[in-house]
Amino acid sequence: MADNYRLVLLRHGESAWNAKNLFTGWVDVDLTAQGEEEAIRGGRLLRDRGLLPDVLHTSVLRRAIRTSQLALNEIDRHWIPTSRTWRLNERHYGALQGKDKAQTLAEFGEEQFMLWRRSYDVPPPLLAEDDEYSQYHDPRYAALPIELRPRTECLADVVDRMLPYWYDALVPDLLAHRTVLVAAHGNSLRALVKHLDGVSDADIAALNIPTGIPLYYELDADLRPVTPGGEYLDPAAAAEAIEAVKNQGKK
């Protein structure tokens, strides 16, 4: 309907550590060549569906930033207004950052692995401030008060730090009837989907988001999804990729 709102969620294309099956979190890895191709294809899917973004919101991590640049450049929307925020960053994976998912599963067992990876309120162990994979002293977070700078996060923590941005930045753009593109990460988008669809703390554990395939939400006058769960612009590819994300660690 003409007066509904258009929101597109796009998880970054395959990253170098996705390909190596490593927990990534806030570590600022780049895309693989496949991830770059996924991003370009994501742009084409948007164009073919008639969803030309008017405004872009990204995390401050290069895999999301570059995914949005490749996708938008492909459809001549590279010029649209852009905001970047740590609030859309991937979940901070704490001491698991840099760890192999299969080794973590083997070392700690399925129950602990799934608690750390997909529970709502159990964070991984804290990452030391001086760890090689810590961002505690990264200049891009210098303005972040110490008490807000994470050393690990559970999904509930991500919901808490993402929602202020939803209400203060994303909702105003939607209400202005701009087509909003959010280029972010598996868990920051799981947090947003949880809010949009009202997914329970228990049920969110089963939700996985594939790389590089746009997820379109038409939102009604109350900013509720017209189609629960939204619509992947390539449903078949999404179904296959979701299964692969779910089974990471079991390689």
Ligand X SMILES: O=C(O)[C@H](O)COP(=O)(O)O
User: Which residues would be at the binding site for ligand X (CB under 6 A)?
Assistant: 23-25, 90, 93, 117, 185-187, 245, 248
- Exactly one of 57, 90, 153, 185 is catalytic; name it: 90
DSSP H helical segments within the chain, as ranges? 16-19, 33-48, 62-74, 101-118, 155-165, 171-175, 186-197, 235-246
Q: Collect all residues with Cβ–Cβ distance below 8 Å to 64 and sequence separation of at least 6.
A: 12, 58, 88, 183, 184, 185
Is 107 annotated in the active site?
Answer: no
Q: Collect all residues with Cβ–Cβ distance below 8 Å to 68 and sequence separation of at least 6.
A: 10, 39, 56, 58, 82, 181, 183
Give the shortest CB-178-to-ligand X separation in angstroms: 27
Give the shortest CB-118-to-ligand X separation in angstroms: 7
- Exactly one of 12, 38, 74, 185 is catalytic; name it: 12
Give the shortest CB-112-to-ligand X separation in angstroms: 14
Determine whether the annotation assigns residue 186 to a binding site. yes
The residue sitting closest to ligand X, measured at its beta carbon, is: 24
Give the shortest CB-248-to-ligand X separation in angstroms: 6
Nearer to ligand X, 179 or 186 (CB): 186
Determine whether the annotation assigns residue 44 to a binding site. no
Q: Collect all residues with Cβ–Cβ distance below 8 Å to 215 and sequence separation of at least 6.
A: 8, 9, 10, 189, 193, 209, 230, 231, 232, 233, 238
Determine whether the annotation assigns residue 116 to a binding site. no
Residue of 209, 22, 8 lying closest to 99 (CA atoms)? 22
Nearer to ligand X, 117 or 149 (CB): 117
Determine whether the annotation assigns residue 185 to a binding site. no
CA distance 23 to 112: 15
Nearer to ligand X, 75 or 96 (CB): 96
Is 78 annotated in the active site?
Answer: no
Nearer to ligand X, 29 or 233 (CB): 29
User: Other C-beta atoms within 10 Å of 167: how many?
Assistant: 10
Determine whether the annotation assigns residue 17 to a binding site. yes
- Binding site residues for substrate, as ranges? 11-18, 24-25, 63, 90-93, 101, 117-118, 186-187
Which residues are known catalytic residues? 12, 90
